[in-house]
Amino acid sequence: MTEKLHLSDTYMTRFEAVVVAVREHQGRSGIVLDRTAFHAEGGGQPADRGTAGEAFVEDVVEVGGEVLHLLGSGPAPAPGARVACAVDWARRLDHVQQHHGQHLLSAAFDRIHGAATLSFHLGAATCTIDLDAPPARMTAEALAAAEAEANRLVWADLPVDARERSPEEAAALPLRKDAVKGLRIVVVGGGDSGPVVDASPCGGTHPRRTGEVGVVAVLRAQKWGPGTRVEFACGGRVLGLLHQAEDRLARASAALRCAPAELVGAVEKLAEEGSARRKELDRMLGSLAAVEAVRLEGTAAAPAPVVARLDGSLGSPAGLKAVGQALASRGRTALLGGLEGGRAHLCFARARGPGAHLGELLRESAALLGGKGGGAPDLAQGSGPDAGRLDEALAAAAAHAGGGAGG
């Protein structure tokens, strides 16, 4: 059994250990040490990294009760060798800030909103907790209140005591959740600092005081199953996100030629102008489609379908649809195709009422293009990557519709 030094001393980053075994795990080489300060992946917290002798420790996992240090570059130490090991402190500190910040944030949601944390994930950029409360309860005001309470605990710089407890000690603590994997319990507050503000079973790494978390920032929340997933960041990550946001604001402001404080107004104005332009383009496309429908109507005598391959804006999915609907309004069946973005596009349309099921017909034609499509009996669209077979697909559709090609 490997002695886990980090559970009693989060700040230990250098130690010596003896290699007691060499193992293979999922095609990777790893070593088992008699003692370690490397935290293994678990409980939502990623593993530590560092070095063992001259080898890089790139992951740490627990397999069959053994702590296995998976190695990357560098020569692997032999069994029985005594090696000097070092934990990557920057990574450890980041994980300590995120993990303990999660404890404080989960305690805040539990205390203020009665929302329990079901799971925790410490990601590469941000972290998440999944709450058992529905999104309707986790309003912007509710999130802000939990964030403020978590930061109150951070800035109070309360003592943190993470260690194994006796059954009697554990029974006397106000546990936020039941202990299921031992009695190592992280207690915040208590003693001369006042009452215990949080007590939670945990095998992760934690600071000596809450102030070392620095800050907790709730970023956003979304529905996750019946509950809510809350995304957040703590400590140094918040500073990184702030710099990233400032950089994005600066670049966006430069692109729109406005001050950062004026960016929202500039974006709103740009969105309004874009919407107005789209409406004008739609109007112009509709007018052009109406003119094209009149021209195409004369290329095939009714009741034969109008079959045509359109170019330019009318050959786009929106253009094909506009022309098809214009022809349908004139009582004609339209079998239209066009090219855009390196793909062949189809639109089949007719007046509502009895007639061929154009959705089924288009599905067959789109298959000739190596693509998919379908729709209602009177209007269907689709596309495929084999643009060279567009004329063949239109001809096949015309044959099945009972008319000849035209246009």
For 360-390, what is each residue's pLDDT tens digit?
Answer: 999 999 999 999 999 999 999 999 999 999 9
pLDDT of residue 44: 85
Q: Does the CA dihedral 350-351-354-360 come out positive or negative?
A: positive
Mean predicted confidence (pLDDT) in 12-31: 93
pLDDT over 70 for what percent of the chain?
Answer: 99
Cα–Cα nearest to 51, from 41, 63, 60: 60
**Over 80: is that where the pLDDT of 175 sits?**
yes
Residue range 76-99, pLDDT digits in tens: 899 999 999 999 999 999 999 999
Listing DSSP states for 172-223 in one string gives TS--SS---S-SEEEEEE-GGG-SEEEEEE--S---SBGGGG--EEEEEEEE
CATH architecture of the domain 93-243 equals 2-Layer Sandwich (3.30)
Alpha helices, DSSP H, located in 75-184: 89-113, 140-155, 167-171
CATH architecture of the domain 3-87 equals Beta Barrel (2.40)
Domain with CATH 2.40.30.130 in the chain: 3-87
CB 350, CB 361: distance < 8 Å: no
Peptide bond into 159 cis (omega under 30): no
284-401: CATH class: alpha beta
Cα–Cα nearest to 321, from 401, 374, 381, 372: 381
pLDDT of residue 65: 84
pTM for the full model?
Answer: 0.76
Distance CA 91, CA 260 (A): 33
**Over 90: is that where the pLDDT of 163 sits?**
yes
Alpha helices, DSSP H, located in 190-349: 236-256, 263-297, 317-329
**Over 90: is that where the pLDDT of 182 sits?**
no
More confident residue, 78 or 401: 78
pLDDT of residue 176: 93
**pLDDT band (50, 70, 90) for residue 402:** low
Q: How far is CA 37 from CA 28, 49, 52, 101, in A?
A: 21, 10, 11, 21
**Over 60: is that where the pLDDT of 340 sits?**
yes
Domain with CATH 3.10.310.40 in the chain: 284-401
Domain with CATH 3.30.980.10 in the chain: 93-243
Q: Give the H or E element holding residue 80.
A: none
State the Rg of the chain over Cα: 33
Place of tokens 């032999």: 78
Mean predicted confidence (pLDDT) in 45-57: 95
Task: Compute CA 162 distance to the chain's CA centroid, rounded to the nearest angstrom.
Answer: 32
The per-residue pLDDT of the chain, averaged, comes to 93
Distance CA 265, CA 254 (A): 14
**Over 70: is that where the pLDDT of 405 sits?**
no
pLDDT of residue 403: 45
Helix (H, G, I), strand (E, B) or coil at 131: strand
Q: How many CB atoms lie within 10 A of CB 5?
A: 18
